[in-house]
Amino acid sequence: PSVPGRIPEGDALTDLVLPVFELNGEFLAAAAMITAPHELTPARWQVLGAVLDAPLPVPEIARRIGLGLTRQSVQRVANDVVAQGWAIWQPNPARRGQNLLNLTERGRDAVHALADEQHAWANAVGRAVGAEDLKALRSLISRVTEASRNYRQNPAQ
């Protein structure tokens, strides 16, 4: 039964919220399982992965990672991976005072080791669900995300 004031599509979207949170929690748990043997955390893995191809400043890392992480929280994780020897700070020739985070050999090795384990997890889960269903789900998630973003930017629609 529909909630008063909400249309069936609104009910359907609301019914999706908890399973999406549960899926997010499962993804975080899987990332924690994959990173734990390497003395990393999912947040450290995200930051290291963001600079795998090229050194970046913290604000750009935060934009690439997304997920609502603030620049300050990414800065804390970046400082942590530097302190642990997975990355180093280097001067940014494009902007003084805004250093670039760059992987060390240890950091690069860690990201590559995690890739093998992530591939095994993704292959097993993907095989259980099926490529076509996952592609359809990705498309639907993108549509819901875009519709929500559009509404937040212009709620008077």
Predicted pLDDT of residue 44: 94
- In whole angstroms, give the CA distance from residue 44 to residue 74: 9
3 is written with which tokens?
A: 């909630």
The pLDDT value recorded for residue 70 is: 82
Q: Are 101 and 47 in contact (CB under 8 A)?
A: yes
d(CA 118, CA 120): 5
The predicted pLDDT at position 68 comes to 62
For position 157, what pLDDT does the model report? 65
Predicted pLDDT at 99: 95
Task: Answer for the pair 109, 95: CB distance below 8 angstroms, yes or no.
Answer: no
Tell me the whole-structure pTM to 2 decimals: 0.79
Mean pLDDT, contiguous 10-residue spans, the chain (157 residues): 83 93 94 93 93 94 80 93 97 89 96 93 98 97 93 85
